[in-house]
Amino acid sequence: MREYVFGTGLIGAATSGMTLLRSLRAQEPFTWRTVLAWVSWGITVALVVGAVIDTRDAKRGRIVSGDSPVSGREQKLLKKRLRR
């Protein structure tokens, strides 16, 4: 569980989300740039969650899709998990 919680993608998404929340409290006008920042943050969070799910599935021996960052390393991750 540690490797998921302390992953750089999740930490980056959390800090950028906090920055966006602070900008809402600062009474700044809500412009198209703010909308793009929120959309970008949502995409980042979705990619991080997808990578975590794919890594967990690969470690359990399941096949992941070809566009996953862990595609092709399923056997290596499964062997590493089984050694523990």
| The pLDDT value given to residue 2 | 59
Distance CA 57, CA 71 (A): 11
| The pLDDT value given to residue 84 | 66
Exposure pattern of 74-84 as b/e (b: 16+ CB <10 Å)?
beebeeeeeee
Question: Which of the pair, 38 or 10, is modelled with greater confidence?
Answer: 38
Give the other-Cβ count within 10 Å of 35's Cβ.
10
Give yes or no for a contact between 77 and 58, defined as CB atoms under 8 angstroms apart. Answer: yes
Query: Could you read off the pLDDT of 27-83 as tens digits, one per residue?
Result: 878 889 989 999 999 999 998 888 888 777 777 777 777 767 676 666 677 677 677
The residues, ordered by sequence, that sit 6+ positions from 57 with a Cβ below 8 Å of its Cβ are 63, 64
